[in-house]
Chains A and B, each alone.
Chain A
Amino acid sequence: MNEPNGSTEPPKAAHLVEALLLTSARPVSVGALSSATGLPEAVVRYTLTDLARRYSPGESGIVLRNVAGGYLLSTNPACSAAVDRFRDEARPAPLSGAAYEVLSCAIYHGPLTRSAISGVRGVNSDAVVRNLIDRGLLAEVGVDRESPGSPALLDVTEELLVAAGASSREDFPSLETLVSEEELTRVRERLRTAGEGPPAEPPETS
């Protein structure tokens, strides 16, 4: 008698990995794939490379993403209009500028407390933090025992890495590369001149 899948052959490595990824809504690590399939990690990695070629944006309506330290099968963004119509789900409101700033604080300086976030931004950010926690993009990951009252420490979540298409925190460009030395010099110069009061009369030119 044939197996339920109609074949007596054991499933191929690619089929096993593909099937597992299809059932998961969260990124699955190589270790988890190896453990569930019984395949060595090296074989899983090779299989994933092969699947990534098959599920690339130019080849399929499904894409394989390497995000948040694992692999995730998702729909191709090129098909998103049709998928959105079919699913008919309310889209979450887009994030505000303040929300992106808070997330940026958490990515580059996290884990950190609410007051540290407000300190960097210069304004109270509690409401924004609350919204981001509700949306699953920020989470409390511990407490800061050094500070009075042991406030909660906040850090980014797997959802944020998935939404940003990042495999880990290291995928984001370093802060030093985001602002040029020239720009920093301009800021310091502007502050220096502002501290000195109104500019002096320009020297007479002949």
Chain B
Amino acid sequence: MTLDPSGRALSNFTVELEVYSGPYEWLLALILKDELEIFEIPLHELVSLYLQARNPEAPNVLERDTDFAGSAAALVLLKSRTLSPAPADVEDGEQEEVSPEQLAEKLTRYLMVRRGAETLRESFARNAGHHPSAHLLPPRPGRLQIDPARILEAASRAFSRPAEPPVKHLGPITVTLQELASVIRTALVRGPVPYEELVRDMDRLRSAVAFAAALSLAHEGHLRLLQPEPLGPLTLEPAE
């Protein structure tokens, strides 16, 4: 591993772990993109690697230490949060009460799988180093062997109509596009109106319909929608 005193603070800090080898910054990116699981990263090893590579005489040592401490703390937080039960489940009381017998059953099952994993690791190690005698040939046209059951499965998934999602919980729709269009027209009499201000006291359904009404009015040329930057504040302006 290396630490280059020049350039971005941690840009040249590379790590060698069992599951990853490469720049530390890429490791962070892979974790954030869920390409690597946080459970697989031994954080104590990361800290040891950083301390080994640390040069106290480097000019930007403070900046590098700060960057590393910040990112390492974020990883610790992420790992601990991932290991904890989701707060929503606890609040909703959805977490089932597990009896000691059920817990013992679950632990026993996990213990067996864990042992199976250890046996498998040994099998992989014993059988490593075998190279097959030939490169895999692509199937010849017309000779591709496909399980008919899998084709049937894929076809039925592709052509079957998905089940209608339940909408009973949504309740009756009590607002119309015309109603919100009229609200917008009234508001525009006083001049341009920020969308946020327009929907401030509305519930989610009304604010969604208000947005649809604004789009409709803009399409008809009754108003203009101004948004200086993507995802920025939206302003409704009367058309001249």
Contact = CB atoms under 8 A, between A and B. Distances in A.
- Are both chains from one complex? yes
A178 B115 contact: yes
Contacts of B121: 95, 97, 100
Contacts of A104: 113-114, 116-117, 119-120
A74 interface: yes
A166 interface: yes
Contacts of A107: 116, 120
A109 B109 CA distance: 10
Contacts of B109: 120
B139 to A, nearest CB: 11
Contacts of B135: 25
Contacts of B133: 21-25, 62, 72-75
Contact of B108 (A24, A80, A101, A184): A184
Interface residues on B, range: 35 or more
B120 A100 contact: yes
A107 B111 CA distance: 15
Nearest to B157: A143
Interface stretch (B18-26, B53-61, B183-191, B214-222): B18-26
Contacts of A101: 113-114, 117
A93 B108 contact: no
Nearest to A165: B127
Given A107-B116, A127-B36, A195-B100, A143 B132 contact: no
A103 interface: yes
B104 A188 contact: yes
Given A74-B130, A108-B116, A120 B83 contact: no
Nearest to A117: B113
A121 B113 CA distance: 8
Interface string A178-192: 110001100110011
Contacts of A98: 37, 39-40
Contacts of A96: 18-19, 37, 40
A109 B112 CA distance: 11
Contacts, number: 154
B46 to A, nearest CB: 15
Contacts of A23: 133-134
Nearest to B112: A175
A172 interface: yes
B155 interface: no
Interface residues of A, number: 63
A45 interface: no
A95 B20 CA distance: 10
Contacts of B153: 142-143
B117 A103 contact: yes
A63 interface: yes
A178 B132 contact: no
Contacts of B112: 108, 175-176, 178-179
B96 to A, nearest CB: 12
A128 interface: yes
Nearest to B115: A178
A156 to B, nearest CB: 10
A172 B37 contact: no
Contacts of B82: 123-124
B126 interface: yes
A75 B100 contact: no
A137 to B, nearest CB: 10
- Cβ-closest 9 pairs across A and B: A80-B129, A77-B129, A104-B116, A165-B127, A178-B115, A100-B117, A73-B133, A74-B130, A104-B117
Interface of B: 18-21, 34-37, 39-40, 82-83, 100, 103-104, 106-121, 123-124, 126-137, 150, 153, 157
20 contacts: A77-B130, A78-B129, A96-B40, A97-B121, A98-B39, A103-B120, A120-B110, A120-B113, A122-B106, A123-B83, A125-B37, A142-B150, A165-B123, A176-B112, A178-B119, A187-B108, A188-B104, A191-B103, A191-B104, A192-B100
Given A178-B112, A179-B108, 5 more contacts: A120-B113, A123-B82, A128-B40, A142-B150, A175-B116
